[in-house]
Amino acid sequence: MLKISLSVVIIIILILLISRFWCSTSGIPPELVRVEKIEVEQFNADSINLNVFVTVLNKNNFKIDVSDLYAYILHNQDTIGAATKDEMVQLSALDTATINFYAFLNTQKFIKSVSNKSDSLKLRMLGTANADLGLFSVPVDMDLEYTFNVKENISQLVERDVQVENLIKLEGGKLKSLGTSESVVEVEFIIQNPYGVDFEVEGYPSKIFINDKEAGKGNIKTAIIIEKKSDGIKAVSVYKLNNIKTITSLFGSIFTRKLIYKTTGILLIDVLGYKIQFPYSFNGELVKI
């Protein structure tokens, strides 16, 4: 009798649990709603590493776990990369959340895909994830499209590398000549290649300030191609100081105090077929020679 009663209780509990999943809003697999954004983390000759953010909707009135995400990244019908996330992510009840995961694009396939020099690239993420609903786990399909602004993301990455001196290292500035009508300042720096692909520094049109006074304008001597296996290329930015008041100030201060310079301008770079530009500035002390 006791065994029969215990069996009945177990059956009733199972029925209640199953009805919890299927007779209400419970037991519904989560929905991968949309790609919020894609960020370029770094790139090299083999791959472009991305951070992908996707919005996920949990329609259940209890927490669920999502894991084992894998998706192919396609452009048109070509597979050019993949996205993965092995770690479990817990979604709150009746809530949306943004999860991020690692993805990559094959660099050579990517370059081929953007050969028309379009600023954006239409991507499709096609794959699955695993959702743990408590009593059982179910697969969750992913089929999302996203227009990826390639030029903007590459520009932000390169600008960040410049700011942390991962791309350009300042060597120093020199007052090469000093005259009443014209003087020349040369600023030397090393251009490094953290990417493993060829790129070109096309120019750095800029102004130079000496002791907080605008002194002249300049640019790098010539466009510089940095090959993928380069250990670093020396570059020189040349400034002609033709402001009479500035030259007078230089004569008055050259023997009495330091000559502090600052440049402000636009750095022009061609990388992965994209011509990008952003503000760039550096400063230091002039050496008199």
Residue 102 belongs to domain with CATH number:
2.60.40.10
CA dist., res. 59 & res. 41, Å (int): 32
Q: 44-59 burial, b if ≥16 CB within 10 A, otherwise e? A: eeebbebebebebebb
CA distance 183 to 216: 9
Last residue of a domain, one of 123, 157, 191: 157
Mean pLDDT of the region 238-251? 72
Q: The tokens of 142 are what?
A: 């992913």
**Residue 24 has what pLDDT?**
44
Shared-domain flag, residues 238 and 123: no
pLDDT tens digits, 168-223: 999 989 988 877 677 899 999 999 999 989 999 999 999 999 888 888 999 999 99
Summarize pLDDT for 2-51 with one digit per residue, the tens. Answer: 455 666 556 665 555 555 444 444 468 899 999 999 999 999 999 999 99
With residue 255 as reference, give the H or E element that holds it.
none
- Counting residues of the chain whose pLDDT is more than 70, the rounded percentage is 83
Judge if 202 and 265 occupy the same domain: yes
Are 241 and 258 in a shared domain? Answer: yes
User: How far apart are alpha carbons 188 and 170 in whole angstroms?
Assistant: 6
Q: Which residues contact 22 (CB under 8 A, 6 or more apart)?
A: none
Do 176 and 259 belong together in one domain?
A: yes
pLDDT exceeds cutoff 80 at 90? yes
CA dist 36 → 42, 53, 70, 162 (Å) = 19, 5, 17, 27
Q: Which 8-state DSSP code applies to residue 258?
A: -
Statement to judge: residues 188 and 95 lie in one domain = no
121 and 153 in a single domain? The answer is: yes
Query: Looking at the domain assignment, is residue 117 inside a domain?
Result: yes
Domain count, the chain: 2
This prediction's pTM: 0.79
Domain that holds residue 230: 165-288
